Amino acid sequence: MGEDRDEVRELVVRAKVACRARSGDGEAFGALYRRYQSGIYTFIRSQVREAELAADLTQDTFVRAWESLPRLRKEGAFRGWLYRIAANLVRDEVKSGRARLEVTESTLAGEDGSRLPEPAGKEGVPEEMLASEEMKEEVRRALDSLPAEQRAAVVMHHMEGMGMSEIAEAMGVRPGTVMSRLARAREALRKELSRYVEGSDDEV
Amino acid sequence: MTKCDFIRDRLAEYAVGGLRGRVRARVEAHTRTCSECRAELRALERTGELLDATAPQEAPAETWEGIQERIALHPRGERRRETRGRPKLGWRPKLGWRPRWAWVMATAAVVLVLMVAVLLGPLGLGEPRLVVALEADEEMQATMEGHLSAVWAAPLSDMAALGLQMASVEENG
């Protein structure tokens, strides 16, 4: 999932104008919400246990973003900035003891029918493979087994399409650390999902 | 450590784009000739493709409604009332959450109280009538609130203005 930076920048500029005017006009901000809500919610949900808490923190993330919009100088960096807000809120929540950085329930789509993973599309992943409910469940379980910081990196990189630097900025770590977390996560997931990713197709 | 072991230890990093230079070239050269390492690399890449194809989960529909309500009712910088059933995280009495202006106002209020205490004399017993006026007179309170930011910015000059204001209250009272 890529992002159109020019479009995002324009939306952020419009939202800033509405915010400064204190008009409560949420049209541009609503567009930003629609664009990023699933990624933010999935990221938060991957870090805290309860779905209701994740929804509350998602709401708080966007309200905080609205309040802080006038101080955002680089409109094109909105996504990383937004994830940083979410990460800080999660950190505060964990520090307060109201949330734990471990999950046992599923953090991804499909379980409650809210949204199914997009089938096909990706080269090398057969449609019938992604359409398998059993496989989706396996992916969810495998992701849940990762340490929280690896899970966060996986969600941001693979589901939101964020680059290493952007993730690093959002998480307050170095890009090399993000790379390392992604590599360790990839290794662990490859083992967990071996029955789906091993095969005769070894052409490179 | 065999050559394959060396390569295997670095395949995941290679798969996520983390290798550069000679090590990267070495991995690429080895996987061209070693079918087992190539198969392992392919499995790692397919794992990434699997994750790429996994969609994030939508936030509950009411999330945006709550945001709209909080934004529309309470423009930025102001405290908002509860909009959900459980206590909102934003309204916790938590020091770190207070905006900068709240600290400025709180500090200014402390300065103001100290100034009033000084003007009223030791123990504040000199002119109880003035304290009553400060608490009861809404117009006076509004004036005092107007003074807060000025007190913060230039306490000395505002002190003079405050003294004049208090003198006025005494005359009128």
Contact between chains at B58 and A41 (C-beta distance less than 8 A): yes
Task: Look at residues A185, A99, A94, A109 and name the one whose alpha carbon lies nearest to residue A143.
Answer: A185
Task: Summarize pLDDT for A103-133 with one digit per residue, the tens.
Answer: 433 444 433 433 333 333 444 555 555 557 7
Contact between chains at B18 and A183 (C-beta distance less than 8 A): yes
pLDDT at res. A11:
81
CA distance B11 to A183: 9
DSSP state of B70: H
Contact yes or no for A195/B29 (Cβ under 8 A): no
pLDDT at res. B42:
95
The tokens describing A43, both together, are 């990221």
ipTM: 0.76
DSSP secondary structure, A102-159, as one string: ---S--STTTTSS-PPPPS-STTS-HHHHT-HHHHHHHHHHHHTS-HHHHHHHIIIII
Contact between chains at A159 and B47 (C-beta distance less than 8 A): no
Name the band, by pLDDT with cuts 50, 70 and 90, for residue B70.
confident
Report residue A122: phi and psi, to 5°.
-85, 130
Task: Summarize pLDDT for B30-49 with one digit per residue, the tens.
Answer: 999 999 999 999 999 999 99
Degrees (nearest 5) of the Cα angle A84, A87, A93? 140
In chain B, % of residues over pLDDT 70: 52
DSSP state of A109: T
* Topology classification of domain A5-196: Rna Polymerase Sigma Factor; Chain: A (1.10.1740)
CA distance A24 to B14: 47
Which residues 82-141 of chain A have a CB within 8 Å of chain B? 89, 92-93, 96, 107-109, 114-125, 129-130, 136, 139
Q: Which residues in chain A have their CB less than 8 angstroms from residue B43's CB?
A: 190, 194, 197-199
- Residue ranges per domain, chain A? 5-196
Q: Tell me the shortest Cα–Cα distance from A94 to chain B, in angstroms.
A: 12
Can you give the three-state secondary structure of B1-62, one letter per residue?
CCHHHHHHHHHHHHHCCCCCHHHHHHHHHHHHHCHHHHHHHHHHHHHHHHHHCCCCCCCCCH
Whether B17 has its CB under 8 Å from any CB of chain A: the answer is yes
Whether A203 has its CB under 8 Å from any CB of chain B: the answer is yes
pLDDT at res. B25:
94
Task: Look at residues B34, B29, B18, B2 and name the one whose alpha carbon lies nearest to residue A202.
Answer: B34
- Residue ranges per domain, chain B? 3-52, 64-92, 100-172
Using CB atoms, pick whichever of B43, B56, B72 lies closest to residue A197.
Answer: B43
Residue of A nearest to B60 (CA): A55
Task: Summarize pLDDT for A137-176 with one digit per residue, the tens.
Answer: 888 889 989 999 999 999 999 999 999 999 999 999 999 9
pLDDT at res. B33:
94
Give the range among A142-156, B10-24, B52-66, B147-161 with minimum mean pLDDT.
B147-161
Q: Which residues in chain B have their CB less than 8 angstroms from residue A174's CB?
A: none
Q: Tell me the shortest Cα–Cα distance from A6 to chain B, in angstroms.
A: 23
Name the band, by pLDDT with cuts 50, 70 and 90, for residue A21.
low
Q: Give A160's contacts (C-beta < 8 A, 6+ positions apart).
A: A1, A39, A43, A79, A83, B56
Task: Look at residues A79, A45, A37 and name the one whose alpha carbon lies nearest to residue A151.
Answer: A45
Name the band, by pLDDT with cuts 50, 70 and 90, for residue B131.
very low
Contact yes or no for B35/A202 (Cβ under 8 A): yes
Contact yes or no for B42/A198 (Cβ under 8 A): no
Contact between chains at A55 and B60 (C-beta distance less than 8 A): yes
pLDDT at res. A55:
94
Whether B33 has its CB under 8 Å from any CB of chain A: the answer is no
Task: Look at residues A57, A37, A53, A43 and name the one whose alpha carbon lies nearest to residue A167.
Answer: A43
Please state the rounded mean pLDDT for residues A87-100.
Answer: 82
Whether B173 has its CB under 8 Å from any CB of chain A: the answer is no
pLDDT at res. B94:
41
Contact between chains at B75 and A22 (C-beta distance less than 8 A): yes
Contact yes or no for B47/A194 (Cβ under 8 A): no
Name the band, by pLDDT with cuts 50, 70 and 90, for residue B79.
very low
Torsion-angle region of residue B16: left (phi > 0), alpha (psi -120 to 50) or beta?
alpha
CA distance A174 to A147: 18
Please state the rounded mean pLDDT for residues B103-114.
Answer: 85
Task: Look at residues B5, B14, B23 and name the one whose alpha carbon lies nearest to residue B45.
Answer: B14
Task: Look at residues B80, B61, B96, B102 and name the one whose alpha carbon lies nearest to residue A60.
Answer: B80
pLDDT at res. B24:
93
The larger pLDDT score, comparing residue B82 to residue A94, is at A94
Q: How many CB atoms lie within 10 A of CB B157?
A: 11
Report residue A162: phi and psi, to 5°.
-80, 145
